[in-house]
Amino acid sequence: MNRGKILIVDDEENIRKTMRGSLEDEGYEIFDTGNGVEAINMVRAIDLDLVFLDIWLPGIDGMKALKVIKDISSDLPVIIITGHGTVNTAMQAIKMGALDFLEKPLSLENILFIASEVISRSKSTNETDDRKKGEGASNYEQIVGESNKTKKIREQVQKFSKQSNDFLIIGESGTGKELLAKIVHSNQRKSTGEFIKLNCKFFQPPNLEEELFGQSPPESNKDIHHKEGLLNRSDLTTIFIDSIDQMEIITQQKMLEYIKKEMGYQIIAASSKDLAKEAEENNFSPQLIDYFKENIIKLPPLRERRGDIPHLINFFLKEFSLERNQKIKELDDESLAVLVDFDWPGNIKELKNVTERLVISVPTTTITIDNLPIFVRDEVATKRLSIHDKHNNFEEAEKAWKRDFVSFHLRKYDGDISLTAKKLKMKERALKSYIKKSDILIEKKKEFNYQRTINKSMVMSGRGLHSGVKTGLILSPLPPNSGLLFGSISTGDTIPAHLDYVESTEYATFLKRGNTYAKTIEHLMAVLHAYRITNLLIKINGEVPIMDGSALDFCRLIEDAGIEEQDAREEEIIIDKLYQIGDPSSSDKFISIEPAEKLSIKYFLNYPPPVGKQEYYFVLENEKLFKEQIAPARTFGFLKDIEALEKKGLANGGRLNNFILIDDEKIINTKLRFSDEFVRHKILDLIGDFYLLGRPVKGLVTAHMTGHSENNALMKKVRDSLNIYW
C-alpha cells in the first residue's frame, strides 16, 4: 500500500540512500535528487505529499528552491534539513513557508515520525474537505440569505429538483447561476449522470452546433471519426447552457426540437439578459422563451437584497477561514456597514473574492474598515456624501433611516431585543416583526473569552541566558484545547507548560519531561499570559533566548504573528480564597493570592543600595498596559553572585546588553528604563510563573522579596486546592 509520495533533496548520496531505504520499508513511494533544479521539476511533475529539502545544494540552493516550490504548490509540506551552524537560516526558511527543520546528523526515527504525522494529517484534512464539499453540494442552505427573494429562490430550486423540468435562470453576472444549476443537479433523485456546462460565448456558430448536435463524416471520407453531440448523449443528467443569448436564433430553434423529444436529461439555460425583451427585439427565439416561460428563476442583483449581504459575508468568512485552519474572522460594525452599502457590480462573485482576500491578508481576527479594499471605501464614501440624493422620495428615505436607526440600537444593546424594545419604547413583538421584515442581522456580544492562538508560525533566534548557547525559537499555532507545549527542535518531544513539570526554580523556571528540557521560560510565559495565548507549540533548543533581558521582543513576535480567537471557551482560574506562603508580619519573604476581578500584583522589594526599596502595583487590564509598564523591565543581578552562578554553569549567556549588572555602589553597564525597573521585573517573572497553572488567573497577588521558588510553592497550593492538574 502506497502511504504517500515523498521527495528527498540532498547532495549527499548516502543520506538519500539511507532515508530512501527506511521510508520505502514503511510503504512510502520515494523520489530523490541532489539537485535543486531537478527538485523543482519533480514538484511540477509529481503529485507529492512531502519534501525533505537540504539547505546546502549545488547550483540553486535550498532557500531559493524552497521559494519556487512554495510558489508552485503553497500547500506542499516542506521539511528543511540543515547542518550545524545554520539554525538561523533554517528559521528563515520557516518564515518562507517550510513546516519544520531537522538538524544533521538525522534521526531516522524522527524522520519516520514526521512523515507519518505530516502525511496522515494532510490526507485527513483533504478527505474532510472533500466530504464537506460533497455534503454541501446537496444542501439547499448553500443558497445563503434570509430575504424574501432568497427564500423564494430556495423554493423554486426544490421544485425543479423534484420535477426535473427544463428551466431558465436569469441574472446579472456573478449572481450564482451556475451554483444554482449544480445544486439542482446534485439534488435530482436520478442524478447518476454527468453535469456538463456549455458556455455559448466561447464558441463560433458552426462549432457550437457541432458541440450540441454532433457531426457525421462526409460520404466521401468514411475515415473521419463521428462526433457525438451533447444533445444526443444518453449518459447525462444535466446540461447547463450558459450565455444562451449568444446562441444564434436558428440554432436555438433547432435545439428546441431536440429538447422537446425528452431525451432523459434536464436542460438548465442561463443568461444575464432579459430574454423576453431580447425576443421582442428579434434577438432571441420567441418559441424558446415561450418554452421556458413557466419555468424561470430570476436571481436579483446583490444591491436589491442587501439584507443578505451580512449572511453571505459570514458564510464566506467561515468557509475561507476553515480552509486555512484559521479562527473564523469577523467584521466590526463599521466595516460591515460599508460592505452592505457597497453596490457590488460583480454581485456575489465579487463579494466572495473580496472576502477571501480579507481572510488571507488580515492577520487579526477582527476586520476593520481600514482593511477593506480602497475601491469599496472610496465608493461608499462618495455615496454617503450624496446621501440626500440616494432616495427618490420622503417615504423611501424615512424607511431607510428607520432601518439604520433600529440596527444601531440593536448593536448598542448587544442584540438584546427586549432591552432594545424597552429603550425605544416599542412593544417587543412589534420590534421582532420589524427585524424579520427588514432583514436586520443581529450580532450578540460575546459573554465570555475564547481560547487564543496565533495566526501564523513565527521564528526568533538569540542566546540562552544561562547556557550561553545560540538557540532558536519557533512558535506554531495549535487547535483549541491543546494548551501550551514546549517542544525540542531536534527530537520533537514536548513538555506541557504546566506546574506539574517544573524541574527547577533556583535562578529561573525550568521544565523537564524525560530527557527534554525547557529552560528560562518565565519572560515568554508572561507575554503569553498577558496576551491570553492558550494554545501554542513553542519549539526551542533547550532554552528560551534571553534577547535584551526583557519581554519586549516576545510581545512584538506575538503581535507580528497576529492573534486568532478560536471556537472554544477559555476557562479562567478564579481564586476562591486566600492562599499564602510565609508570614506577612515579618520582614522575610512572603507571597499571597486572594480573590479579585483581574490579575493584580502588589510587589514590595528591599535590596541594599543602589537598588533600595521599591514597590509597584500593576493590574493586568490588557496587553497594551503590560507591554508599556512591565514587558520592558530587564533581568538584573549582582556582581557578587556571578562567581556562584559560573560555578553552576548558569552565567554563560550573560552579556552587557541583556542584563542589568549591579555592584555595591552603582549600575555598571546600562541606564535604567524605569526608576523602579527592578520591582517591575519581579512582576514580569511572577506573571510568567503563574501562567504555569495552565490558564489565565484572576486574583490579587501580594509579594515581598520573593522569587521563582516562592511563586512555585504558592501555585502548588492553588493547584492542589482547585485540583488544577495537567
Per-residue pLDDT band for 634 (boundaries 50, 70, 90) equals: very high
Q: Which residue has the cell 540543515?
A: 82
Q: Among this protein's residues, is 708 annotated catalytic?
A: yes
CA separation, residue 451 to residues 313, 420, 517, 687, 696 (Å): 23, 30, 26, 18, 10
**CATH 3.30.230.20-classified regions of the chain:** 450-568
Class of the CATH domain delimited by 5-134: alpha beta
Q: Which residue has the higher pLDDT, 425 or 325?
A: 425
**CATH 3.40.50.300-classified regions of the chain:** 142-207+230-300
Nearest CA to 52 out of 2, 96, 95, 11 is that of 11
Checking if the pLDDT of 133 tops 50, the result is no
Topology of domain 450-568 in CATH is Ribosomal Protein S5; domain 2 (3.30.230)
**CATH 3.30.1700.10-classified regions of the chain:** 574-722
Please pick, among 185, 523, 529, 708, the residue that the annotation labels catalytic. Answer: 708
Q: Which residue has the cell 528559521?
A: 91
Residue 247's Cα: distance from chain center in Å?
44
700-724 pLDDT per residue, tens:
999 999 999 999 999 999 998 888 8
Pairing mode, strands 510-513 and 516-518: antiparallel
Which CATH code for domain 304-437? 1.10.8.60
68-118 pLDDT per residue, tens:
888 777 778 899 888 754 556 666 777 677 877 787 778 787 788 888 878
**CATH 1.10.8.60-classified regions of the chain:** 304-437
pTM exceeds 0.85: no
Topology of domain 574-722 in CATH is lpxc deacetylase, domain 1 (3.30.1700)
Checking if the pLDDT of 326 tops 90, the result is no
Q: What distance separates the 2 farthest-apart alpha carbons in the chain? A: 115
Checking if the pLDDT of 222 tops 60, the result is no
Checking if the pLDDT of 606 tops 80, the result is yes
Topology of domain 142-207+230-300 in CATH is Rossmann fold (3.40.50)
Contacts of 312 (CB under 8 A, 6+ apart): 144, 145, 302, 348, 351, 352
